[in-house]
Amino acid sequence: MEIGLLIIFWYGILHAFGPDHLTAIADFSIGKDTKKTLMTVSAFAIGHGLMLFLFAKLIEHFSIPESVTAYGDIIASSVILSIGVYLLFMVYSNRIHLHAHIHDNKRHIHIWFGNEHDHQSGASGASAFGVGVLMGIGGVRGMLVTLGMLQGQTIDFTMILAFILGVMVVFIAFGWVILWINKDILTNLQNVRRVFATVGAVSVLVGGNMLLA
């Protein structure tokens, strides 16, 4: 692998450790099974990378002032803050529900938002992809700083793929932590509401702090 791609890959790893990204992953993965959690983290990483690629190409061909790209940080912060407020509202309005049953000698737990009798799952992979796209706008400036280290190279999809792979390394590792929480802690409604309240509060704090920074 070329040194440039290694730099982009490493940047993806560092970028994924941002509290806003880990908070977003937690928001969308809490209460999900293994398949849905992995789908969520993958969708988020792909959406994030594709948006960075799109904006990087636009900035490569057009002169876009930094004041405009700065709005990306506001959008990303607002997304995290909004998700946190939504989760807290769901918790304190008693709109988070849990149903446990035995299937094939294994205990399965379903968690959903809204009407107690709907049994509809929460956010989907498409939702995670959409949030990844929105938050990708907030990572444009950092990506351009890294790409600036690779002067003379055209921004191509190979670079973005390296970035996505770096992001997914961290997201999937964090996803396994979330899976442990889902399996061993979210075993009753009281714990479910406590965990969602905690995740919601963290989202509000992270998003609010980013907006004020």
Assess whether pLDDT exceeds 60 at residue 24: yes
- Other beta carbons within 10 Å of 10: 14
What are 99's strand-pairing partners? 110
Each residue's pLDDT tens digit, 105-159: 666 667 777 766 555 555 556 778 888 887 776 666 565 555 554 555 566 778 7
Q: Which domain holds residue 202?
A: 3-212
What is the residue type of 88?
L
Each residue's pLDDT tens digit, 148-202: 545 555 667 787 788 888 888 888 898 888 888 888 888 888 888 999 899 999 9
Q: Which residue shows structure tokens 């983290």?
A: 41
Total number of domains constituting the chain? 1
What is the residue type of 20?
D
Confidence of residue 81 (pLDDT cuts 50, 70, 90): very high
| Stated pTM of the model | 0.76
Assess whether pLDDT exceeds 70 at residue 42: yes
Phi-psi region of 105 (alpha: psi -120 to 50; beta: other; left: phi over 0): left
Token pair for residue 94? 């008693």
